[in-house]
Amino acid sequence: MIKLMKRWWSYTTAKLTGAFNEAADPKVQLEQAIQEAQDQHRRLKEQAANVIANQKQTEIRLNRTMEEYEKISSNARQAVLMADDAMKKGDDGSITLYFQKDSPGKGLESNWLPAPNGPFYMLMRVYWPEKAFLDGSWKLPAIQKAK
């Protein structure tokens, strides 16, 4: 019974909608279609403007971030060079590095690399090694425990 009522309602709605559309003035329908197309065009223009504005904002943020990165990178590079220049060298030109928890003293802090209290291990990274390192003729100096 419910199915029958639903079908009857669907047929009646379709019949009335069709009759209304047939009786409608074509000029009014055309004006409504034009108005709907204009509204859709306006919405699309607004969406396009929003997309372009978001793209511009993203580009501005990216440019700012890149400028900050370049400044930080430059500062880090300068700090590494200054730290390298600040290292105290021995009479023979050698460099003694201090890996320990406590400062080795005021005059040696530029050669101090703080390490944890207790056991630790060290790694050596070699960037663009020279031939002596590659063929094994250069050896890493022995690590000596300070007394």
Query: Dihedral, CA atoms, 109, 112, 116, 121, nearest 10 degrees?
Result: -170
CB of 96 within 8 A of CB of 110? no
Tens-place pLDDT, residues 40-74: 999 999 999 999 999 999 999 999 999 999 988 88
Q: What does the mean pLDDT of the chain come to?
A: 84
Residue 54 or residue 92, greater confidence = 54
Q: Is the pTM of this model over 0.95?
A: no
CB of 98 within 8 A of CB of 146? yes
Residue 59: in which H helix or E strand, if any?
helix 26-86
The amino acid present at 146, given as its one-letter code, is A
